[in-house]
Structure 1
């Protein structure tokens, strides 16, 4: 009996330490979430600070608190901070090799925040993946596609890819091509497109709308229009102009031909 008690004497301290560790983990996780939200709220409350920085700072604070929680949990099992540092130092090489991708994402996250190739709310294309930036944290960038599908891009891949930012500038150019029949009056068609562009208040006067014949295609004479608008009006103007010019062509007697083939038959 005494031997059994001696062998089981370590069980109770282990259970107590485990219970304390679980309590520390739960409380630490809650504190980390609460503090990170407060940091995000306080930083984003300043209009002079970009919201992207607030989210990134909140992510850093959360991970620092969780690291402190890890140290506290290990200390409950008798592992002192100095011993922990020594263990981490010995395991640095192994961890670095095992987490090359994660460490790369972490470093890339700092580079993204430092150079700001994109910010929250902007529509971007990252290496062929397009969407609106919803979040940037230490390890990943979260995008949402136009049909509201979530896409997670590791920061390492984002930093190493070609980034196209459609929202960086305040203005954008709308390019549209209209094909007319070879027998139609090109000058008349160009004037219809130009009049439509000038009549829309969303179209900028500087630079002025540009309309030219740009190609003689196999079935049509191609007229290209280039107009400048505010970035927020890009898609609305593009769709409205496509519909409006089609209706104006119908009223003005300008036809949009279908692709066709002319057959030539020679006698004999």
Structure 2
């Protein structure tokens, strides 16, 4: 028994078995420790093999102790394969490779196992050359039978190396299909479309078709909105009006700034294209809807008339006096707002008569957190922004309603004009006296103002003077006389 323990073959086998046990005890969550164990046991086994003149890659006739010799060589090859595979996996993870690199990793691991298998067969005296020739014929037969599948596999490998997209990227194919890449394997790629459907695309198809990756260098996306207006104003005036309309949008990117492109002009219309960027492809519809509403309001506020489409069979040429613009009155602004839809028509002129129309230049402060008098403001034209602790929270376009409620907004909050701006100011007492008979309107207005106050407080990183939303609602109700 003592001779058995002193045998180098027994020691190599014992090291190999111990290495396998320790490797499993490390667990999958410790890949670095596993790699260290693999390398340590492999080096110890290598030292014992070559120190005793045993070559693990040469064929040796079976003799006494032949079973122990075979076991020692097999364990050495297994540890070699695991050490190489562990190094490959650690390298790909630590080097920041994308998730798709798993395909390349699997290919390398398969090559390692194939090489180890051939080496073990040569150790038993198999003619590797003859075996490779035979396997080559088999590979040709399988290649012809699996031509489509192999095309997808090698296309997947090419896409992995080229990296035209990654997991999470939003791509648009030349056939119109678009969506976010959620999975990629050897044979196919899975896309999640905007309609919440999974589209499975063979890798060979993706390798041939053209695609646009909208997630690189970032997820912002260029969108264009075309419109036609009657040439009753100069093109420069129209372009500036449209630019001011886009300044008030909350769902587009303002850096870089949106662009107004004049595409053409004739006797019937000025053709304009609004070019802007959205934060991600899914926000395109929301941003477009918002801009259409803002453009409509801006046209009405500045006296710009929309022109009929080019395809219209009859074009009506109307006389228009460009010197008489018809910006919206407070009554029209309130009527277009769902909050005031239930107010009696004969009471709106009274409310408008009590309001004051104020004019501001770009950069002027409309209200700030130090104001003590409660008031309500309705934007007539231009754009304002709510700024809290130096950060912009929300923008207000024509028709927007905001106000200063005593004790609700953070001290650091201010309302600032981003463009030349006109706004109606309504005192809190006047509003309360006129709307005393409309509790449903007071509730809607209270919810809107308190929601804005909560957003501003959250942005400032603290609640509004320690109040909750219910406290804010009570304060707003107090402003409205409830």
TM-score by length of 2: 0.37
CA deviation after TM superposition for structure 1 residue 162, in Å: 0.8
CA deviation after TM superposition for structure 1 residue 191, in Å: 1.8
Preserved CA contact (<8 Å) 2:224 2:274 = yes
Matched, 1:138 2:190: no
Counterpart pick for 2:313 among 255, 261, 266: 261
Instruction: Provide the residue aligned with 2:18 in structure 1.
Output: none
Report the CA distance shift for 1:262/1:130 in structure 2 as closer, same or farther (over 3 A).
Answer: closer
CA deviation after TM superposition for structure 1 residue 215, in Å: 2.1
Instruction: Provide the residue aligned with 1:12 in structure 2.
Output: none
Instruction: Provide the residue aligned with 1:158 in structure 2.
Output: 206
CA deviation after TM superposition for structure 1 residue 263, in Å: 8.2
Preserved CA contact (<8 Å) 2:245 2:294 = yes
CA deviation after TM superposition for structure 1 residue 228, in Å: 4.1
Report the CA distance shift for 1:157/1:253 in structure 2 as closer, same or farther (over 3 A).
Answer: same
Matched, 1:177 2:226: yes
Counterpart pick for 1:147 among 169, 190, 195: 195
Instruction: Provide the residue aligned with 1:221 in structure 2.
Output: 270
- 2-side partners of 1:222 and 1:48: how far apart? 49
CA deviation after TM superposition for structure 1 residue 188, in Å: 3.3
Instruction: Provide the residue aligned with 1:246 in structure 2.
Output: 296
Instruction: Provide the residue aligned with 2:216 in structure 1.
Output: 168
* 1:6-55 Cα deviation digits (max 9, x unpaired): xxxxxxxxxxxxxxxxxxxxxxxxxxxxx9xx99xx9998794433335x
Q: Aligned with 1:182: secondary structure?
A: coil
Instruction: Provide the residue aligned with 1:112 in structure 2.
Output: 159
Give ranges in structure 1 of 5+ residues lacking alignment.
Answer: 1-34, 72-79
Q: Aligned with 1:113: secondary structure?
A: helix
CA deviation after TM superposition for structure 1 residue 229, in Å: 4.8
* 1:209-247 Cα deviation digits (max 9, x unpaired): 322321237953211222345446851433322222122
State the Cα RMSD in Å: 4.0
Matched, 1:195 2:208: no
- 1-side partners of 2:234 and 2:265: how far apart? 14
- 1-side partners of 2:289 and 2:205: how far apart? 34
Q: Aligned with 2:305: secondary structure?
A: coil
Counterpart pick for 2:136 among 89, 94, 98: 89
* 1:101-155 Cα deviation digits (max 9, x unpaired): 2111111111111111011111212341322211111111111221122221111
- 1-side partners of 2:96 and 2:267: how far apart? 55
Quick check: 227-236 or 142-151, which moved more?
A: 227-236
Report the CA distance shift for 1:233/1:152 in structure 2 as closer, same or farther (over 3 A).
Answer: closer
| Higher relative helix content | 1
Instruction: Provide the residue aligned with 1:22 in structure 2.
Output: none
* 1:31-81 Cα deviation digits (max 9, x unpaired): xxxx9xx99xx9998794433335x468769x96xx99xx9xxxxxxxx9x
- What is the number of equivalent residue pairs in this alignment? 213
CA deviation after TM superposition for structure 1 residue 158, in Å: 0.7
Give ranges in structure 2 of 5+ residues lacking alignment.
Answer: 1-27, 32-85, 118-125, 317-482
Quick check: 92-101 or 251-260, which moved more?
A: 251-260
CA deviation after TM superposition for structure 1 residue 180, in Å: 0.7
Instruction: Provide the residue aligned with 2:171 in structure 1.
Output: 124
Preserved CA contact (<8 Å) 2:155 2:203 = yes
Instruction: Provide the residue aligned with 2:439 in structure 1.
Output: none
TM-score by length of 1: 0.62
- 2-side partners of 1:263 and 1:219: how far apart? 8
Counterpart pick for 1:51 among 88, 96, 99: 99
- 2-side partners of 1:217 and 1:121: how far apart? 46
Preserved CA contact (<8 Å) 1:60 1:138 = no
Preserved CA contact (<8 Å) 1:197 1:203 = no
Determine which structure has greater relative contact order: mean sequence separation of CA pairs < 8 Å that are 6+ residues apart, divided by chain length: 1
Report the CA distance shift for 1:223/1:114 in structure 2 as closer, same or farther (over 3 A).
Answer: same
- 2-side partners of 1:247 and 1:59: how far apart? 59
Report the CA distance shift for 1:100/1:193 in structure 2 as closer, same or farther (over 3 A).
Answer: same
Report the CA distance shift for 1:99/1:175 in structure 2 as closer, same or farther (over 3 A).
Answer: same
Q: Aligned with 2:196: secondary structure?
A: coil
Preserved CA contact (<8 Å) 2:229 2:307 = yes
- 2-side partners of 1:250 and 1:53: how far apart? 56
